[in-house]
Amino acid sequence: MSTVQRLTAAAIQMVSGDDLSANLERARVLVGEAAAAGAELVVLPEYFYLMPEDERERVALARPFGDGPIYHYLAELAERHRLWLVGGTLPLASPEPGKMFNSSLLFGPDGRCRVRYDKIHLFGFDNGRERYDESATMSAGEQVASGDTPWGPLRLSVCYDLRFPELYRQRPAPTLIAAPAAFTHTTGQAHWELLLRARAVDNLAFVIGAGQGGMHPGGKRTFGHSLIVDPWGTVLACHEDGEGIALATLDLNRQAELRQRLPTLQHRRLD
């Protein structure tokens, strides 16, 4: 049971390009704006640091866990603003040559990383016009990961994970779910809001989906529509297109009431 019953959360939406320094600067500004608006928990999108035409450019940036400029940048950002920060994703070193882990990290207000999650479900898509194959440059993670926060357990996940509800049914039952993403416009238009709301209702949890939202090098188009959803499936905030912030205050008392009324959803979890 969480001890703090209200939380202001922010989902940061970006349109990252192929300039690492420029992307980090935009993230710095947006996190600062969210903090100034009262955000205590901020979620950055997947690949906030780089959306290049050639996916292998991200692999070249991979560093061991706990090291590297992107890791230290995120730690400093969380500490500077004294907030909880889900660092979207960053590239971490993999034992497989030519590959990386696409990892999401939760940092506390002291700048310390509290938990690491390596994306388990790797995206593949080919409709004849668009083709994606994350397994060509990524190693799949193996462990579900949660972090303890003042509001209760936060389950980390990334993008394509949203299609696999069993990931969220593992103990401990999440109070919060973070879903940084770079959904393609095609799949996002069809399923992004549907999946976020379904995972919220499945788990009676608050879901924070922070996306990329625009055109990127190589003609890639992401869907955006960063959302914050409550445990009843109600959309509390949305930023549709382009760069910006979805901000909402979450009432954990409301969540507790729902879990009390619908205990079978709370307890039907996989060990």
Active site residues: 46, 119, 159
From residue 153, alpha-carbon distances to 114, 146, 268 in Å are 12, 6, 17
DSSP H helices in 16-171:
20-36, 56-59, 69-81
Give the Cα separation of 181 and 123 in Å (integer): 11
* 8 A C-beta contact, residue 69 and residue 84: no
Stated length of the chain: 271
- Enter the tokens of residue 51: 């959306």
Classified as helix, coil or strand, 193 is helix
Q: Quick check: helix, strand or coil at residue 232?
A: coil
Residue 270: other Cβ atoms inside 10 A? 10
Alpha carbons 213 and 239: distance in angstroms, whole number: 9
Helices (H), the chain: 20-36, 56-59, 69-81, 185-203, 252-261, 263-267
User: Residue 70, Cβ neighbours under 10 Å: how many?
Assistant: 24
Distance, CA of 46 to CA of 88 (rounded, Å) = 5
Dihedral sign for Cα 34, 2, 108, 213, please.
Answer: negative
